[in-house]
Amino acid sequence: MPDHPPAAAHILSFAQTLKGGGVERAMLRMADGWAKAGRRVTLVIGDSGGALAHEIPDGVEVHELGSTAYRALFGLPAIVRELAPDIVFCPGNHYTGAAFWLRARLGRACPPIVGKVSNALVRPDLRRGAGAGYRGWLRLHPRFLDAVVAMTPAMAGEAVGAMGLAPTQVHVIPNPPAQPIADAPPPALPDGRFLLGVGRLAPQKRWERLIAAMPRLRDPEVKLVILGEGEERETLQRLVERLGLENRVSMPGHAPDPLPAIERAAAVVLTSEFEGVPGVLREAIALGTPAIATDSSVAIHELIDSSARGTIVPPGDRARLVGALNYWLMPGRRRPEPRPETGPDPVRAYLDLFDTLAAQRGR
């Protein structure tokens, strides 16, 4: 007797651009796994060009909207109505506005929507009015999301509290781990010791904190490499020049495969104001590279769970940041033991969730 087709045979996800964000990169990895599992996968992308374009998986359908503007995603209802996917995956907090619009336009005809929490939901950095508005917006999410995925247990707890969700609506599924890319061009790296930052050159990442720490390090020969691209490039470059660090700080752009750089780095550093579950920290810990990060997410303490793996510093505390950098740069400092990622297969866990929701809707 032939097997029945899966309830979520057709999965649709969407993104604004493929310029190099961690949310979009994780979405592409998952889409690859879903397609290899035999599912039909459709990606709706505002502009499918950019640094991650080469990571679009084989066998995945791409519908390009022709615009990088967020409002282009408000064309999703017409596409979903036409393609009739069994499930819609919203890959991060940034995109829940489009998910809200999709549900509002299609109503009961809308397939189940699964939303992933990609950034902190508790935002003390927001001013009073903006913070109140943000908290109110989060409380609307149970009205248009059928299920929420958090990448760690602590982030699941934050989602329950911030969104007012029942615990049964929140599922803990990590992103698929990064895999080496055999033919990826290596980034330009210095010969000696270097600190490494990986991420978008965006205000959230606060790379100026790390650049400003460089003149205060005990070892003036240590370099800094920041891999990523974004709207803050010119601002950060001006800071490098003002501090006279042109020979110590480099920003070579997006790296298709940052794993070799992470493995070689003296330490991986993240100075963000707020975060979700930073992939670069997961990768550093898996490879045995010291991790230094601001206390920018409840997940940071789950990742750096021991002083033997790295150091967590308060956001904006320049002295503590410099102290952590000098500690891990001390000659002879023992590096952490690698902690490879283990646990259930994230791709399979997502498919099980999608099948359950699609089957419930069918009934």
The dihedrals phi and psi of 185, each to the nearest 5 degrees, come to -65, 130
Residues 280 and 123: beta-carbon distance below 8 Å: no
**Which pLDDT does position 3 carry in this prediction?**
66
Out of 3.30.1490.110, 3.40.50.2000, 3.20.80.10, 3.30.70.1560, select the CATH number for domain 194-329.
3.40.50.2000
Q: Render pLDDT for 90-138 as a digit per residue (tens, 0 to 9).
A: 999 999 999 999 999 999 999 999 999 998 898 878 888 888 999 999 9
CATH superfamily of 10-177+344-362: Glycogen Phosphorylase B; (3.40.50.2000)
CA distance 273 to 125: 7
The dihedrals phi and psi of 112, each to the nearest 5 degrees, come to -55, 140
pLDDT over 50 (residue 1): no
CA distance 223 to 240: 12
- Whether 10-177+344-362 and 194-329 share one fold: the answer is yes
Q: Where are the domains of the chain?
A: 10-177+344-362, 194-329
Of the candidates 326, 283, 336, 275, which has an alpha carbon nearest to the alpha carbon of residue 306? 336
Mean pLDDT of the chain: 94
CA distance 96 to 74: 11
Q: What are the distances in angstroms from CA 69 to CA 74, 191, 305?
A: 10, 41, 39
Q: Render pLDDT for 192-245 as a digit per residue (tens, 0 to 9).
A: 999 999 999 999 999 999 999 999 999 999 999 999 999 999 999 999 999 999
Q: What are the distances in angstroms from CA 324 to CA 94, 215, 313?
A: 31, 14, 8
CA distance 268 to 290: 6
